[in-house]
Amino acid sequence: MSFIRPEIRAAIWRWREVLTGVAVGALGVCWVLGPGGLLGWLGWVLVIAGVSLVVIGVQRARFRGAVGGVGVVQVDEGQVSYFGPLTGGSAAMSDLARLSLDPRMKPKHWVLEQPGQPPLYIPINAEGVDALFDVFAALPGLKTERMLSGLGDEGTHPIVIWQKTSTQGSVVRLH
């Protein structure tokens, strides 16, 4: 028997990094204002760590969004797999050519495209979609704020979040 309502528990779990960051920062402030000395210096480290956790936690909480969608997402060593009731597939992140967000589908879907393969569509509320934040953040040149703002937009066209840059045209030949 739990004394916490399921909605409250879900909100706490969604914002867990932010709450941890606030607690760590508050402990740091107590140590800075309290005894001082060596604990004061460690308190400043805790304040910086707490602020960092809050910033990262806000980004992750914005990414998490709704839950309870269909299908399961699994990430294993750079391979993203989606197992859904009607569709599914996998995409190797090293071969990824484009990442986009399609708001035309209900709910919105992440679209992972790689050459020679059909696009992989993943609903933003699928089970385990939280793991995609770290996978997407590892893409070179990805703008995290663009990805997060795309989740909040109610547009009618797919939004390209990230696209692999071609290095073919940038090679300068001497002869």
The DSSP code sequence of 107-152 is S-EEEEE-TTSPPEEEETTSBTGGGHHHHHHTSTT--HHHHHHHHH
Judge if 76 and 154 occupy the same domain. yes
Judge if 146 and 94 occupy the same domain. yes
Is the CB of residue 125 less than 8 Å from the CB of residue 112? no
Judge if 60 and 15 occupy the same domain. yes
For residue 174, tell me if it sits in a domain. no
For residue 168, tell me if it sits in a domain. no
CB atoms within 10 A of CB 172: 5
Hey, what long-range contacts does 88-95 have (CB within 8 A, 24 or more apart)?
89/117, 89/118, 89/120, 90/120, 91/117, 91/120, 93/135, 93/138, 93/139
For residue 175, tell me if it sits in a domain. no
What's the confidence (pLDDT) of residue 1?
A: 60
Judge if 49 and 81 occupy the same domain. no
Judge if 123 and 86 occupy the same domain. yes
Run of H or E residues at 10: helix 6-14
Containing structural domain, residue 36: 6-64
Is the pLDDT at 82 greater than 90? The verdict is yes
Mean pLDDT of 67-84: 88
Q: How many domains does the chain have?
A: 2
Judge if 112 and 33 occupy the same domain. no
Judge if 55 and 79 occupy the same domain. no
Beta-bridge partner residues of 92 = 79
What's the confidence (pLDDT) of residue 118?
A: 92
Judge if 57 and 77 occupy the same domain. no
Name, of 45-54, 72-81, 94-103, the range with top average pLDDT.
45-54
Is the pLDDT at 47 greater than 90? The verdict is yes
Both tokens of 60, joined, read 């992750």
Is the pLDDT at 161 greater than 70? The verdict is yes
Judge if 91 and 146 occupy the same domain. yes
For residue 127, tell me if it sits in a domain. yes
Judge if 60 and 92 occupy the same domain. no
What's the confidence (pLDDT) of residue 120?
A: 93
Q: Exposed/middle/buried for 62, CB within 10 Å: 0-12, 13-18, 19+?
A: middle
| CA max distance for the chain | 76
Reported as a single tens digit per residue, the pLDDT across 11-38 is 888 899 999 999 999 999 999 998 878 8
Examine the fold and report which residue of 23, 40, 64 is the final residue of a domain before the chain moves on: 64
Among 166, 169, 168, smallest CA distance to 97 is for 166
What's the confidence (pLDDT) of residue 173?
A: 58
Examine the fold and report which residue of 41, 64, 87 is the final residue of a domain before the chain moves on: 64
